[in-house]
Amino acid sequence: MTRSGFVGLAGRPNVGKSTLVNSLVGSHVAIVSSRPQTTRRAIRGVATDTEKELQLVLVDLPGVQRPRDVLTKRMQGRVERELADSDVVLLVINGEEGVGPGDRFIVRALLGAGTGVPVLCAVNKADRLGPNELVPVLTEAAELAGIDEVFPISARTGEGLPPLLDRLAELIPEGPYMYPPEDSSDQSSELLLAELIREQVLNRTRQEIPHSVEVSVLEVEPREDGLVTVKAEIWAETESQKGILIGRAGAKIGEIGAAARRSLERELGSQVHLDLTVRVRRNWRRDEDLLDRLGIE
């Protein structure tokens, strides 16, 4: 009998949820950055083991935060809805930072939601800690109210993931696969490509620029010679942000474009011509209709 279920990943911003999803799925389905609040949508990564007749649908959620604008209000609402619909919740904690007030806030919110689903805790970045540093964090995590089990892991190296996977497999319900076994994500191709471009913006800009940027893929056109043309826009909220993204003599946009093109080529398995422009869309994070079109529910 096959098993299939949803695992909702909860945690503060920038604790490694996206890296963990990519590692478990075995594919780059969620963008990764050192910038907090990288994830804006609920990204579903699909990890299927046909030998074990097992499918985990890993829901990479935005980091739990207090809403500041329409965008972050929607992000937080999506977190709450997805966790309520999960079969298992996996709280991810940054082992280097230990258990903090934000982690306790999330656990209280989970208890308050009253979903009754099992809550596991993964203490991430365990590979960077010695035993004397790791054990107190594991103990503190285990003492959090509502946490059923704690697993030390490294999403980056894969350390500790097999026991965590085994336990998740035991907790999800019996039932047919929800996605074809060959699928790795529920994202459209255009959205995934847009996110890969945004990943490079995040990794190459500072201060408020990462939070003010969105990427829209306008066209993906395969050619007969095997080259794929991708046309995309990077949105900024002000002219000054646009200038930073373009850089002196176009240096910054050239750097972003070159790195993004390599990411797109790895994803598409083809050479890519990336036509990348920057435009200003003022206050897009507060535009309800635009957020609807972007799929940020």
Average pLDDT over residues 134-140: 95
Residue pointed to by tokens 């398995």:
269
In a domain, 227, yes or no: yes
Tally of domains in the chain: 2
Share of the chain above pLDDT 90, in %: 49
Q: What is the average pLDDT across 185-190?
A: 82
Listed range (71-80, 124-133, 235-244) with the worst mean pLDDT: 71-80
Same domain, 77 and 165: yes
Q: Considering only residues 236 and 93, tell me which one the structure prediction assigns the higher pLDDT.
A: 93
In a domain, 176, yes or no: no
If you average pLDDT over residues 225-248, what whole number do you get? Answer: 92
Whether residues 147 and 20 share a domain: the answer is yes
147: left (phi over 0), alpha (psi -120 to 50) or beta: beta
| pLDDT for position 76 | 56
Q: What pLDDT is recorded for position 67? A: 54
Q: Are residues 86 and 142 in the same domain?
A: yes
Poorest-confidence range of 42-56, 197-211, 247-261, 270-284? 197-211
Would 202 be classed as within a structural domain?
A: yes
Cα separation, 209 vs 221, whole angstroms: 29
Judge whether 15 lies within some domain: yes
Q: Is residue 221 part of a domain?
A: yes
What tens digit of pLDDT does each residue of 22-71 get?
899 888 776 665 554 555 556 788 999 999 999 999 887 655 555 555 55
List Cα–Cα distances, 233 to 257, 282, 294, in angstroms. 11, 14, 13
Distance of alpha carbon 45 from alpha carbon 155, whole angstroms? 14
Residues 207 and 277 in one domain: yes
Both 140 and 223 in one domain: the answer is no
Residues 147 and 254 grouped into a single domain = no
123 within 8 A of 152, measured Cβ to Cβ: yes
SS3 content of the chain, % helix, strand, coil (to 5): 40, 25, 35
CB-CB contact of 228 with 193 (8 Å): no
pLDDT at 270 over 90: yes
In a domain, 266, yes or no: yes
- Tokens 């279920």 -> residue: 5
DSSP one-letter string for 100-144? -HHHHHHHHHHHHHT----EEEEEE-GGGS-HHHHHHHHHHHHTS
Mean pLDDT, rounded, of the chain: 84
DSSP three-state, residue 187: coil
CA distance 270 to 273: 10
Q: Which residues contact 208 (CB under 8 A, 6 or more apart)?
A: 241
Say whether both 8 and 148 belong to one domain. Answer: yes
Tell whether 98 and 25 lie within a shared domain.
Answer: yes
CATH number at residue 233: 3.30.300.20
Please say which residue of 115, 137, 171 terminates a domain: 171
Indicate if 34 and 167 belong to the same structural domain: yes
Q: Are residues 204 and 119 in the same domain?
A: no
Residue 201 sits in the same domain as residue 165: no
CATH code for the domain in which residue 14 is found: 3.40.50.300
For residue range 154-173, what is the model confidence (pLDDT) as tens digits?
999 999 999 999 999 999 99
Is the pLDDT confidence value at 201 over 80?
yes
**49 occurs within a structural domain:** yes
**Domain annotation covers residue 177:** no
Task: Tell me, yes or no, whether 41 and 151 share the same domain.
Answer: yes
Q: What is the mean pLDDT of residues 2-28?
A: 88
What is the span of the domain harbouring residue 115? 3-171
The pLDDT of residue 129:
92
